[in-house]
Amino acid sequence: MATLQELRNSRLNKLEKLKELGINPYPAKSFKDINNSEILQNFEKLEGKDAVISGRIVSLRRHGKLVFMDLKDSTGKIQLFIKEDRIKKANHKSSELDFEDLELLDTGDFAEGFGKVIKTQTGEISVGVETLRILGKSIRPMPDSWDGLKDKEVRLRRRYLDTSMNGEVYDRFVRRAKFWETHREFFKENGFLEMNIPVLEQTPGGADAKPFVTHMDAIDQDLYLRISQELYLKRLIGGGYPKVFEIGPRFRNEGLSDEHLPEHMAMEFYWAYANWEEGMEFVKKLFERIFDNVYEGRRTFKIRGFDVDFSKGWKVIDFAEVMKEKFDIDVFKTSVSEIEKVCEERGMRNVSDKNLHRSVDNLWKELRKTVAGPTFLINHPKYLSPLAKANAESPHITERFQPIIAGSELGNGWSEINDPQDQLERFKEQQGLRELGDDEAQWLDIDYVEMLEYGMPPTFGYGHSERIFWFLEDVSAREGVPFPQLKHELDETTKEIYGL
C-alpha cells in the first residue's frame, strides 16, 4: 500500500501537468446553479433540462470511453455521466477539461459539471456532462484511502475530514447551529434584545470558576477572559433595558472532561420585573422550542445511560429535603466533620473540602448523579447562591432553580439580588473564601455594587451552555464541538513533508 507521501507526490505531479496545460486548478468562480438534492427530488420536472452541479469527487470510475463520477455537495450525492464523444472541446483557460485530461483528477478534487439531467441505462439519476471544470485540486487523499480517520485523535484534530466523510458528524453540527438559532428566534419573539458584552473583564464574576488571565498592553493591565455573561448583562438591566440576552463564548480555566471544555458557547438572558417562577415556565417553553425545531418534535432521549422523557413534564425537588432524605443531614446545620462521617458510613469517597459550602455542594453532586430528570432543583441554601435573592419568607434559602438532566446540572436561574447592601455582604463572604484558598469563590466586584446603588428593578436571570446540546446528542464535550481544543503537536509525517 502506498504511503501518504507517495500518494501526495502523485497528486502533486498531476497538479503540475494541469498547470502545464494552461488549466487553473483553483479558479475563483463556480457556475453551480442547483443543489444535488433538488435534482434527485424533482427529477420528473428537471429531466432533459440543463444543470450545473458542483461538489467534491467521492467516486471516480473509468470504463474505456465512459467515466462515471459521483459529486457530493452539502445536500447529497449525484452522478456525472461522461462520454468521450459528448464532452465539448475544453477551454483550458476557463479550467475546463478534455476527456483525456480526466486522468489528472482524483477523488477528493472539487469539480463542476454542466449538462442535461438524465437517467442512465441502469436507472440512476445523473447529469450527462458536456463541460467539466476543475474547481480545486486535492493534494492529499481523503481518509477512505488511508487509515487516518480510524484514530479518534486524528478525527478531532482534522475535523474538516470528519465532517466531509462522516454524515452523522456533519448533521450533528447542522443541529448545533439550529440549536443556537432557535434560542435567538425564541428570545426575539418574546421581546429580548441580543446585546454584545465584553469578553475581557477587569473583575471576573457570575460563576464559581477559575478564569484565564491575559494582559492588555495598551493600558498595561492584566485582564480576565469572562467566566460568565451575568454581571454585564445585569448592568444593562440597570441601564434601562428590560429584556436582554447574549450567546457567545465563555472561558473557565479548569479540567477537560466528557462534560466540560475550558472554552465553550453559552447563553444567558435577563428579564426585568419577572421572578424565578415566571422564569422557570419560560425555560420550559424554551426547551419545548428546541425539541420542536432541532429534533423534529422528539421528546425522549437516551442520555449518559439514562432514558429521559420530557413529555411527562418536569419534576421539582427541594434541595434541603432531598439531602435530608438521602443522607439524613440538615444542610443548614451540618458541618464538615458530619459530611465526612456520612461518606465513611456509606462507603463513599470523601467529598469534604476546605469549607462547608464546598463540602455540601460536593455531597449534593454525589446525589445528583442518580437523578435522570427532567427535574428542577429549587430552594438552594443561601450560602451556595451568592448572586440569588433570598426567599422573603425563608431567608436561609434562595429563589433559584437548576434543570437536572441525566445526573448533571445543565443550567441556573434565579431572582436576582437588587439590594446593593445584600450583594456587597455576599461578595465579601465569597472574597473571604477566596482568601482562605477557594480559587473558585466569587470575586468582589465593587463596580457592579455601585450599579446596584443607582437602582435595578426586580429581575430574573438564567443561563445554560452548549452542554444542553451535548447531552441531547448524547456525545462527549469534544465530540459536541467542531474544533475542540487539543494540545498542539505535529506528527512525524507532517514534519517530514514540510521539512520541519
In a domain, 14, yes or no: yes
Task: Please tell me whether residues 256 and 389 are part of one structural domain.
Answer: yes
What are the tens digits of pLDDT across the range 277-297? 999 999 999 999 999 999 999
DSSP reduced 3-state for 122? coil
Q: Is residue 382 part of a domain?
A: yes
**DSSP code at position 88:** P
Give the total residue count for the chain.
500
- 378, 317 in Cβ contact below 8 A? yes
Query: Is 28 part of any domain?
Result: yes
- pLDDT of res. 147: 53
Q: Max alpha carbon distance in the chain (Å)?
A: 89
Pairing of strands 76-83, 125-136: parallel
User: Does any domain span residue 104?
Assistant: yes
Mean pLDDT of the chain: 93
Report the pLDDT value the prediction gives residue 76, as an integer from 0 to 100: 95
Which long-range contacts link 397-403 to residues 24+ away (Cβ below 8 Å)?
397/319, 397/320, 399/275, 399/276, 399/277, 400/276, 401/276, 401/279, 401/280, 401/376, 401/377, 402/376, 402/377, 403/283, 403/287, 403/314, 403/373, 403/374, 403/375, 403/376, 403/464
Give me the pLDDT at residue 465, please: 97
Q: How many structural domains does the chain have?
A: 2
Residues 79 and 130 in one domain: yes
Q: What percent of the chain has pLDDT over 90?
A: 76
pLDDT digits 0-9 by tens, 42-67: 999 999 999 999 999 999 999 999 99
Pick from 211, 203, 199, 202: which is nearest to 439 by CA? 211
In whole angstroms, give the CA distance from residue 378 to residue 365.
14
> Are residues 174 and 133 located together in one domain of the fold?
no
Rounded Cα gap, residues 420 and 450, in angstroms:
8
Residue-level pLDDT at 44? 95
Is 113 in the same domain as 185? no
The pLDDT value recorded for residue 140 is 92
Q: Is residue 332 part of a domain?
A: no
| Residue at 120: amino acid letter | T
As given in the structure block, the three cell numbers for residue 11 are: 497528486
Q: Give residue 353's pLDDT.
A: 73
- The pLDDT value given to residue 148: 52
CATH number for position 86: 2.40.50.140
- The three cell numbers of residue 332 are 443548614
Pseudo-torsion of CA 344, 348, 353, 355, nearest 10°?
-70
> What is the rounded CA–CA span in Å between residue 322 and residue 366?
12
Q: Mean per-residue pLDDT for 89-100? A: 96
Lowest mean pLDDT among 91-105, 131-145, 236-250: 131-145
* Of 443 and 220, more confident: 220
In this structure, the answer to whether residues 237 and 115 fall within a common structural domain is no
Which range of residues forms the domain containing residue 15? 4-141
Who contacts 72 (Cβ-Cβ below 8 Å, separation ≥6)?
Answer: 36, 55, 56, 58
Same domain, 302 and 417: yes
339 in Cβ contact with 359 (< 8 Å) = yes
Helices (H), 230-346: 230-238, 276-294, 319-327, 336-345
Q: Minimal CA–CA distance to 393: which of 405, 408, 409, 379?
A: 379
- Comparing CA positions, the residue from 168, 178, 465, 174 lying closest to residue 294 is 178
Instruction: Verify that 231 and 274 share a domain, yes or no.
Output: yes
106 occurs within a structural domain: yes
pLDDT at 342: 84
- Please enumerate in sequence order all residues whose Cβ is within 8 A of that of 475, keeping only pairs 6 or more positions apart, or say none: 172
Whether 134 and 171 map to the same domain: the answer is no
pLDDT digits (tens, 9 = 90+) for 247-270: 999 999 988 888 899 999 999 999
pLDDT the model gives residue 354: 67
- The partner residues of 403 in beta bridges, in order of sequence, read 376
- Residue 205 one-letter amino acid: G
Residue 442 near residue 430, CB atoms below 8 Å: yes
Neighbours of 45 (CB within 10 A): 10
**Can the peptide bond before residue 374 be classed as cis, meaning omega within 30 degrees of 0?**
yes
Q: Which residue has the higher pLDDT, 369 or 1?
A: 369
pLDDT digits (tens, 9 = 90+) for 414-459: 999 999 999 999 888 888 887 777 777 778 889 999 999 999 999 9
Angle 420-435/446-454 helices, nearest 10 degrees?
Answer: 170
- Residue 21's CB: how many other CB atoms inside 10 A? 14
Helices 336-345 and 356-368, packing angle to 10 deg: 30
Express the helix, strand and coil content of the chain in percent, nearest 5 each. 35, 25, 35
127, 172: one domain: no
Judge if 133 and 190 occupy the same domain.
no
Residue 358 maps to a domain: no
- Is the dihedral angle over the CA atoms 157, 158, 160, 161 positive or is it negative? negative
Residue 222's pLDDT band, with cuts at 50, 70 and 90, is: very high
The answer to whether position 491 is within a domain reads no
Taking the C-alpha atoms of residue 424 and residue 449, their distance in angstroms, rounded to an integer, is: 6
The answer to whether 119 touches 132, Cβ cutoff 8 Å, is: no
In this prediction the pTM is 0.91
238 and 133 in a common domain: no
Same domain assignment for residues 38 and 171:
no
Higher model confidence: residue 142 or residue 275?
Answer: 275
Q: Is the pLDDT of residue 146 over 80?
A: no
What is the rounded average pLDDT of the residues 227-252?
A: 96
CA 330 – CA 320 distance, rounded (Å):
7
CATH number at residue 298: 3.30.930.10
Mean predicted confidence (pLDDT) in 212-234: 95
Q: How many CB atoms lie within 10 A of CB 275?
A: 16
Q: Which residue has the cell 464523444?
A: 85
Give the separation between CA 165 and CA 149, rounded to whole angstroms.
Answer: 9
Identify the domain boundary among 141, 175, 209: 141
